[in-house]
Amino acid sequence: MNEFPQALTLAGTDSGGGAGVMADLKTMQMRHVFATAVVVAVTAQNTRGVQDFMALPPKLIDEQCASLADDLKILACKTGMLADAEHVHCVAENLKRYDFGPLTVDPVMIAKGGAALLADDAITTVRDELVPLATVVTPNLPEAQRLTGLTIIDADGMVRAGQALQALGAQNVIIKGGHGADPQMANDYVRLADGTAFWLAAPRTDTVRTHGTGDTLSACITAELAKGVDVAAAIQTAKAYVTGTIRDTIQVGHGHGPLNHWA
Ligand code: PLP
């Protein structure tokens, strides 16, 4: 009998339940994939922001990965918050050591509330060690700028950044346009391994309840890849999933509220 599809997130937790590992597990569950997690960092966090965080000892990350590889059959994985260069390196080494299937790299840098979830000097480590392993990389505009060194001010800039990320070794790229200037639309640029490209457009919803959107998008892509869906379809499904979770809000907390995974 074929094993049930199993997926993995290597990321940071959110005690408030809206982002990070918690968003990943909820998303994978909703997409009917068995969700597993290697916790890289623990945040003290709610919808108002990140109050503190601590990364776990790399040895414990090695042990979590070894434990999964020893028993489960992980068919796709993703990375999220990785804290600093030492932990980016540790995660990249584990991803080279074990076959956890296609990798989606969400190059998490700064939370919406402004907290830095990745040390500045770790951006080059993400670029040099993690991006080359990526089946899909999912930066937002500021992350794409930091990774490529390009200034992105328009659609042409997104196209150039997509090409640059592929030159750095990522097979497929989705650059999220949510931080863009268009008040009506959030346009994402997708560039596939075969050189074809397309835009995903969604109407912008005027809401502060967008905590965890990036995690949810990359977790949904990962879940679809674990089920054997092709990359283009996985990205399209994930965009539709995130758009739905933003549209139908739930009231939790006082700040950047979490998404509605039942939407
Ligand atoms: N906390 C953790 C652990 C995350 O991984 C992320 C995003 O990836 C965030 C917080 C930030 O969430 P947002 O910027 O959507 O509020």
Domain ranges of the chain: 6-247
Q: Over pLDDT 90: what percentage of the chain?
A: 88
42-67 confidence digits (pLDDT tens): 999 999 999 999 999 999 999 999 99
The span from the CA of 56 to the CA of 230, in Å, is: 34
ipTM of the prediction? 0.95
Gap from CA of 239 to ligand 1 centroid (Å): 17
- The reply to whether ligand 1 has any atom less than 6 angstroms from the CB of 81 is yes
pTM above 0.95, yes or no: yes
115 CA → ligand 1 middle, Å? 9
The CB of 78 under 6 Å from ligand 1? The reply is no
Chain segment 94-119, per-residue pLDDT in tens:
999 999 999 999 999 999 889 999 99
Ligand 1: distance of its center to the CA of 20 in Å? 5
CB atoms within 10 A of CB 211: 28
CA dihedral 246, 205, 175, 96 (to 10 degrees): -10
**DSSP line for 139-162:** -BHHHHHHHH-----SHHHHHHHH
- Distant-in-sequence, close-in-space partners of 153: CB < 8 Å, separation ≥ 6: none
Minimal CA–CA distance to 225: which of 111, 138, 129, 109? 138
Residue to mutate, 10, 215, 216, 259, ligand 1, most ligand atoms under 8 Å from C-beta:
215
Question: Pick the residue with more confidence: 202 or 68?
Answer: 68
Superfamily of 6-247 according to CATH: Ribokinase (3.40.1190.20)
Q: Look at ligand 1, atom 16, and give the residue with the nearest C-alpha.
A: 211
CA 230 to chain centre: 17
Choose among 33, 31, 40, 26: nearest CA to 7: 33
CB atoms within 10 A of CB 88: 25
Please say if the pLDDT value at position 128 is more than 90. yes
Where would I find the H helices in the chain?
Answer: 20-30, 58-69, 85-97, 123-125, 141-148, 155-167, 213-226, 231-247
Q: Is 259 in the pocket of ligand 1 (CB under 6 A)?
A: no
Residue 14 Cβ inside 6 Å of ligand 1? The answer reads yes
Residue 180 CA to residue 186 CA, distance in Å, equals 7
Average pLDDT, the chain: 95
Q: Is the CB of 209 under 6 A from ligand 1?
A: no
CA of 144 to the centre of ligand 1 (A): 16
- CA atoms of 239 and 188, how far apart (whole Å): 9
